[in-house]
């Protein structure tokens, strides 16, 4: 738990340290990382709630997915547009909706054997999250699905009994394969559009969804090599776009979009905040993931399942962050941080004085 807490402090510390070194502290750059600090307070408060916390959280997952599906329906039916909300663009909206759907399915029989109504609600939540993701046309979430299957195969045996594990793997595989087989939209976004973008890139025309991302990654790596220790400081990548376009390093279109974001969370923090930003970003993914792996390996039944939900959350956000910045917005930062600390509080409540130091003795698998 101390390492978990320190990891959540690091993004704020990295931003503040870099900006102090550069002599320019920008208040708006501290807004999002401060959500990690606030989440620490929330975590220690939630750890004291006891058994009431998991019950409402368990059904909060499908409720969130239902809300996403309702919002997506409005975007598709009324606006004829990719699903989004007033505070989330289609990429973030689809990614979060998909994660809520997956976690909704995995929360079946989490705390106790759910009745028919509970199972129906959670399965409906999984379908709702999948629909909202499809309607968003966000490829980052779709890329994360196969990784979720791998995580469940790799470590799911300790978090789920055999039948639940195979049901989860089959469900996630179906969620990965069926949209490709049945939806022209998915096939177009995943294969046709990417193929066209790569073809145009090979012909010297990088101004496409894939090409612009590669242009921005190239720019970020150049800037990181020039300022590896302290980074560029507040809004450094943003301010570097115009000069780089003038020098012909990146295209004007890429430079214009780069003023908004780098489209890679680790590169964004490293470019602006140097080695401290790089370490901070790795920490907010790796340390929570390792904490939840320990819960899966050493905890009781509830902690093991909770650990799987937490691990999938950390891994999914890492995958999302490879193609879009997830922590440049307060709402996505708050969502990730709140999910982490809530699941940590459930897996490791205040009544538990310490995490087990050795794996528990294998026993007869519990029904879940």
pLDDT at 352: 59
Q: Give domain status of residue 62, yes or no.
A: yes
In this prediction the pTM is 0.90
pLDDT, residue 310, reads: 95
Under the phi-then-psi rule, with left for phi > 0, alpha for psi from -120 to 50, and beta for the rest, what region is 76?
A: alpha
Please identify every stretch of the chain with a pLDDT value under 50, giving residue numbers as ranges: 353, 356-368
Q: Does residue 57 fall inside a structural domain?
A: yes
- Examine residue 209 and state whether it is found in any structural domain, yes or no: no
Q: Is residue 233 part of a domain?
A: no
- Which domain, by its residues, includes 148? 2-190+265-347
Can you give the pLDDT at residue 351?
67
In a domain, 217, yes or no: no
Residue 353 belongs to a domain: no
CA distance 259 to 244: 12
204, burial (CB in 10 Å: exposed 0-12, middle 13-18, buried 19+) = exposed
Give me the torsion for CA of 26, 277, 4, 311, rounded to 10°.
110
Query: Which pLDDT belongs to residue 335?
Result: 96
**pLDDT at 365 (0 to 100):** 42
Establish if 184 belongs to a structural domain: yes
pLDDT the model gives residue 349: 79
Q: What is the pLDDT of residue 360?
A: 42
Q: Answer yes or no: is 332 within a domain.
A: yes
Q: What is the pLDDT of residue 366?
A: 42
Q: How many domains does the chain have?
A: 1
Residue 363: predicted pLDDT? 41
Q: How many CB atoms lie within 10 A of CB 115?
A: 9
Burial 32-64 (b: 16+ CB within 10 A, else e): bbbbbbebbebbeebbeeeeebbeebbbbbbeb
């Amino acid at each position: 738990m101390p390492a978990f807490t320190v990891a959540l402090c690091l993004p704020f510390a990295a931003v503040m340290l870099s900006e102090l070194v550069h002599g320019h502290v920008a208040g708006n750059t501290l807004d999002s990382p401060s959500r990690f600090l606030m989440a620490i307070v929330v975590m220690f408060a939630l750890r004291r709630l006891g058994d009431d916390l998991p019950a409402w959280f368990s059904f909060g997952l499908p409720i969130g997915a239902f809300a996403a599906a309702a919002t997506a329906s409005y975007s598709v039916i009324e606006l004829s547009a990719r699903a989004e909300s007033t505070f989330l663009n289609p990429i973030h909206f689809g990614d979060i909706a998909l994660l809520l759907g997956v976690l909704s399915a995995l929360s079946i029989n989490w705390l106790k054997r759910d009745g028919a109504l509970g199972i129906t609600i959670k399965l409906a939540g999984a379908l709702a999250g999948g629909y909202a993701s499809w309607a968003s046309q966000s490829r980052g979430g779709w890329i994360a699905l196969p990784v979720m299957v791998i995580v469940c195969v790799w470590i799911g045996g300790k978090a789920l009994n055999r039948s639940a594990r195979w049901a989860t793997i089959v469900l996630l595989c179906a969620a990965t394969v069926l949209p490709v087989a049945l939806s022209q939209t998915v096939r177009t976004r995943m294969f046709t559009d990417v193929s066209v973008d790569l073809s145009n890139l090979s012909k010297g025309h990088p101004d496409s969804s894939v090409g612009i991302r590669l242009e921005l990654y190239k720019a970020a790596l150049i800037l990181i090599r020039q300022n590896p220790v302290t980074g560029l400081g507040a809004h450094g990548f943003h301010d570097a776009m115009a000069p780089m376009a003038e020098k012909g390093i990146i295209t004007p279109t890429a430079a214009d979009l780069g003023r908004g974001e780098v489209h890679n969370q680790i590169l964004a923090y490293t470019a602006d905040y140097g080695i401290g930003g790089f370490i901070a970003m790795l920490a907010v993914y790796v340390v929570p993931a390792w904490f939840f792996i320990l819960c899966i390996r050493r905890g009781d039944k509830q902690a093991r399942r909770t650990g799987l939900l937490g691990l999938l959350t950390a891994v999914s956000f890492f995958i999302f962050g490879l193609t879009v910045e997830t922590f440049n917005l307060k709402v996505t930062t708050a969502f990730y941080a709140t999910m982490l600390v809530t699941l940590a509080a459930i897996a490791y409540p205040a009544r538990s004085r310490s995490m087990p130091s050795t794996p528990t003795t294998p026993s007869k698998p519990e029904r879940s």
